[in-house]
Amino acid sequence: MTGIQLILISGFLLALLFFFIRWRNNIADVLLFTVLSSTAIIFILYPEWTNVIAHKLGVGRGADLVFYLCILIFSFVILKLYARIRKLEQMLTDLVRKESLHKKQADQQST
C-alpha cells in the first residue's frame, strides 16, 4: 500500500466517522454516504478496477470515469442543498409572517 492510498483511505474513513457522529438522522443519506465511501476505498485499493469498468462503459480511462461520476454526484449534492435552502427560506418566511400577525394582534389588543 502506498502513502497516498493510506492518506486517501484515512480521509474517507474520517469523513464517514464524522458523518455518522453528526448527521445520522436520515437512513437514505447514511446509506448513500456509506456506499460512496466504500466504493471510493475499494477504488483506492484497486485502481485498476476503474480502468476495467471504464472500458466496459466506453470511457477511455478509469480516471475519466471517476471524474464523470464525481460531476454527477456533485450535481446531486448541489440540487439537494438547493432544495434544503429553499425549504428553510419558506419556513423562515412563514415564521416571520406568523410573528408579524401575532405582534399586530397584540398591538391591537393593547390599544
Residue 51 lies in a domain: no
User: What pLDDT score does 27 carry?
Assistant: 80
pLDDT in tens, 36-89: 889 999 999 999 999 999 999 999 999 999 999 999 989 988 998 999 999 999
Domain count, the chain: 2
Read off the pTM: 0.68
- Cβ burial, residue 50 (10 Å; 0-12/13-18/19+): buried
Mean pLDDT across the chain, nearest whole number? 89
Print the domain residue range for 16. Answer: 1-46
Give the pLDDT band of residue 92 (cuts 50, 70, 90).
very high
Residue 74 lies in a domain: yes
74 and 106 share a domain? yes
- Residues 6 or more apart whose CB falls under 8 angstroms from that of 45 comprise 1, 5, 9
Residue 56 lies in a domain: no
41 and 72 share a domain? no
User: What pLDDT score does 51 carry?
Assistant: 94
**Alpha carbon distances (Å) from 54 to 5, 42, 61, 67, 94:** 20, 15, 6, 11, 48
Residue 53 lies in a domain: no
Residue, of 111 and 4, whose pLDDT is higher:
4
111 and 68 share a domain? yes
Mean pLDDT of 19-35: 78
User: What pLDDT score does 25 carry?
Assistant: 67
Say yes or no to pLDDT of 31 above 90: no
